[in-house]
A = this chain, B = another copy of it.
Amino acid sequence: MAALDQLIDALRRLPGVGPKSAQRMAYHLLLNDRSGAQALAATLSQALSRVQTCARCHGFSEDPVCGVCSDTRRDPGLLAVVESPADQAVIERSGSYKGYYFVLGGRVSPIEGRGPRDIGAEALLHRATDGQVREVILATSFTAEGEATAYLLGEALKAQGLLVTRLARGVPVGSELEFVDLGTLAHAFADRR
The residues of B that contact A47 with a CB separation of less than 8 Å are 3-4, 6-7, 26, 29-30, 37
Instruction: Find residues 31-56 in chain A having any chain B CB closer than 8 Å to their own CB.
Output: 31, 33-34, 36-48, 50-51
Give the complex CA separation of A63 and B14 in angstroms. 29
The answer to whether the Cβ of A165 comes within 8 Å of any Cβ in the partner chain is: no
Q: Are A27 and B86 in contact (CB under 8 A)?
A: yes
> Does A16 interact with chain B (Cβ within 8 Å)?
yes
Cα A10 to Cα B179 in complex, Å, equals 21
Contact of A60 among B4, B11, B38 (CB under 8 A): B4
Tell me which of B6, B60, B85 contacts A43 (CB under 8 A).
Answer: B6
Asked if A62 is at the interface of the complex by the 8 Å CB criterion, the answer is yes
A1-24 at interface with B (beta carbon < 8 Å): 1-4, 6-7, 9-11, 13-16, 20-21, 23-24
Asked if A171 is an interface residue, CB under 8 A from chain B, the answer is no
Q: Check if A36 sits within 8 Å of B20, measured CB to CB.
A: no
A–B Cβ pairs within 8 angstroms, 6 of them: A1-B51, A3-B46, A7-B43, A30-B60, A41-B41, A41-B44
Copies of this protein chain in the complex = 2
Q: Is A61 close to B, CB under 8 A?
A: yes
Identify which of residues 84-127 in chain A touch chain B, using a CB-to-CB cut-off of 8 Å: 84-86, 89
Q: In the complex, A62 Cα to B9 Cα: how many Å?
A: 17
Does A25 make an interface contact (CB < 8 A)?
Answer: yes
Beta-carbon contact of B51 and A84 below 8 Å: no
Does A28 make an interface contact (CB < 8 A)?
yes
Give the docked Cα–Cα distance between A60 and B1 (Å).
8
* A51: B residues at CB distance < 8 A: 1, 3-4, 30
Q: Are A43 and B3 in contact (CB under 8 A)?
A: yes
Chain B nearest CB, measured from A182 CB (Å): 13
Report how far A84 CA is from B31 CA in the complex, Å.
9
